[in-house]
């Protein structure tokens, strides 16, 4: 938080200096959250992640089904083990089979949990990397637009402090580049990945 406050103070100081030197700085704002949410590549990436997560869950459910089948068999073996009509030798065989299946179930569940942990961690890492890449793409587009319009400063109006108070409390809408940037970002977007505009 301190770093963000310092950055904001420095930016305001630089603007004040510009005014003091007699030049009027050109300031613009952009809603980075809106750009990120409505950029078609964000939606495209999220859909791909959802497909991969569903595939992981499908594999997990299949593994769980196998474990449940073993657990059902264990229930039957437990009943047979308590059946006094079986000979001691037969019950000993049942006991060994029960122990064997129990260990199998424990091992399969351990492997399932490890598999789920590995896959979800790998997918989370992939998602984080993809989202960072998208944010960098957006940043570059913002920078190019700022240069083309000769802006001195561009502020993210969606930025808030840790108390959720916006850093920019007021700015004229004339200075907002969000919609123009969205058009640039989504100009080649496939229709299925376009997000309906937010209010």
User: Distance between CA atoms of 78 and 96, rounded to whole angstroms?
Assistant: 11
- Check whether 116 has a pLDDT greater than 60: yes
Mean pLDDT, the chain, whole residue set: 83
- Check whether 127 has a pLDDT greater than 80: yes
Length reported for the chain: 199
Separation of CA 41 from chain center: 14
Mean pLDDT of 161-179: 72
More confident residue, 164 or 187: 187
- Check whether 164 has a pLDDT greater than 80: no
**The pLDDT value given to residue 173:** 63
Q: Which two tokens stand for residue 26?
A: 């050109």
User: Distance between CA atoms of 166 and 162, rounded to whole angstroms?
Assistant: 10
- Check whether 187 has a pLDDT greater than 70: yes
- Check whether 163 has a pLDDT greater than 60: yes
Locus of tokens 């399932």: 112
Range scoring the smallest mean pLDDT among 34-38, 132-136, 174-178: 174-178
Half-sphere exposure of 144 (CA within 13 A, CB side): 10
**The pLDDT value given to residue 49:** 95
First and final CA of the chain: distance in angstroms?
Answer: 29
Mean pLDDT of 164-176: 69
Locus of tokens 């930016």: 11
User: 67 with 195: CB under 8 angstroms?
Assistant: no
Q: 196 Cβ partners below 8 Å, 6+ apart?
A: none
Mean pLDDT of 170-192: 81
User: 119 with 64: CB under 8 angstroms?
Assistant: no
User: Distance between CA atoms of 35 and 186, rounded to whole angstroms?
Assistant: 10
**The pLDDT value given to residue 36:** 93
DSSP state letter for 22: T
One DSSP character per residue, 104-162 reads: HHHHHHHHHHHHHHHHHHHHHHHHHHHHHHHHHHHHHHHHHHHHHTT-SEEEETT-B-T
User: 36 with 159: CB under 8 angstroms?
Assistant: no
**The pLDDT value given to residue 168:** 66
More confident residue, 81 or 51: 51
């Amino acid at each position: 938080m301190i770093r963000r406050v310092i950055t904001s103070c420095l930016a305001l100081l630089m603007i004040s200096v510009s005014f003091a030197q007699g030049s009027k700085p050109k300031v613009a704002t952009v809603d980075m959250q809106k750009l990120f949410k409505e950029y078609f590549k964000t939606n495209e990436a999220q859909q791909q992640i959802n497909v991969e997560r569903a595939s992981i869950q499908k594999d997990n459910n299949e593994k769980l089904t196998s474990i449940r089948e073993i657990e059902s068999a264990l229930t039957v073996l437990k009943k047979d083990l308590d059946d006094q009509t079986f000979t001691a030798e037969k019950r000993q065989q049942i006991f060994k089979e029960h122990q064997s299946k129990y260990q199998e179930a424990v091992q399969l569940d351990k492997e399932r949990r490890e598999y789920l942990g590995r896959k979800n961690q790998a997918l989370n890492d992939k998602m984080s990397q993809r989202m960072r890449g998208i944010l960098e793409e957006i940043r570059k587009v913002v920078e190019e637009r700022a240069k083309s319009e000769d802006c001195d400063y561009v502020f993210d109006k969606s930025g808030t402090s840790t108390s959720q108070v916006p850093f920019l409390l007021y700015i004229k809408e004339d200075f907002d580049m969000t919609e123009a940037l969205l058009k640039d970002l989504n100009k080649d977007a496939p229709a299925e990945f376009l997000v309906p505009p937010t209010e």
